[in-house]
Amino acid sequence: MSKMLASVNSLEEALSAQQARVDIIDLKQPARGALGALDSVDVKAIVVALEQTSSISATVGDLPMQAELIFKAVEKMADTGVDYIKIGFFPGSDWTPIINRLQSLTQRGLKLIAVLFADQQPDFKSLSLFSQAGFNGVMLDTMNKSNGSLTQVMPFATIQAFVKSAKQRQLLCGLAGSLREADIATLLPLQADYLGFRGALCVNHQRTAALDSESLWRIKAALRR
């Protein structure tokens, strides 16, 4: 059964997700981009307030593909005490130097999640590089949220191939990208480890709007059915 990841942008939203017993509370600021980051001070405050009763992930933001810049951002986020750190791998650059630089952090025990973007035609051959570098997992997301959900921008067979490839390499596997309640029945048979939500949990299904408790509980119930 796929577990639930809920993206939140404040302590208030994080507490709502905790009350709903969401499997992973994901800290991000949607107003800042596809993987917009919360300030590390705010992340730390949320981690402390949740008192280690929930698994927490956080993104380092939509950063240029520069190895040292990303390395320092991951190190800084690691100091907040989150369980997982998500790093967006954007197209147009050679990812190998970045992956190699981050390997020293996985060797220190940091749990890193590589995020690929379905609407940017990612190369799934990179999953071997992430596995070899000690990454904890990989996730499919979407960069341009106006293009629709993951299931609308990538063929089902390609999503299935991603999940299969991740599992073969013993990587945690997550699927996200403007997922709607209607996508759950389609994606559950793939048995990804996590399905991630933001817009579907918000008022009027707008990802930059406030979290809506009723929607949060409805999505969780749909995952459990």
When the pLDDT of each residue in the chain is averaged and rounded to a whole number, the result is 96
d(CA 149, CA 198): 11
DSSP state of 167: H
Please give the positions annotated as active site: 28, 86
Q: Which helix (DSSP H) or strand (DSSP E) does residue 116 occupy?
A: strand 112-117
Specify whether the CB–CB gap between 142 and 118 falls below 8 A: yes
| Average pLDDT rounded to a whole number, residues 71-80 | 98
pLDDT surpasses 90 at 99 = yes
| Average pLDDT rounded to a whole number, residues 92-117 | 97
Predicted local confidence at residue 53, as pLDDT: 86
Question: Quick check: helix, strand or coil at residue 141?
Answer: strand
The predicted-structure confidence for 107-162, as pLDDT tens digits, reads as follows 999 999 999 999 999 999 999 999 999 999 999 999 998 889 999 999 999 999 99
Name the residue among 30, 105, 35 with its Cα closest to residue 64: 35
Name the residue among 87, 123, 119, 91 with its Cα closest to residue 103: 87
Predicted local confidence at residue 134, as pLDDT: 98
Q: What is the CATH number of the domain that holds 122?
A: 3.20.20.380
Predicted local confidence at residue 225, as pLDDT: 79
Q: How many domains does the chain have?
A: 1
The predicted-structure confidence for 173-197, as pLDDT tens digits, reads as follows 999 999 999 999 999 999 999 999 9
Q: Which domain holds residue 96?
A: 3-224
The one-letter amino acid code at 181 reads E
Predicted local confidence at residue 115, as pLDDT: 98
| Average pLDDT rounded to a whole number, residues 1-20 | 96
Which pTM does this prediction carry?
Answer: 0.96
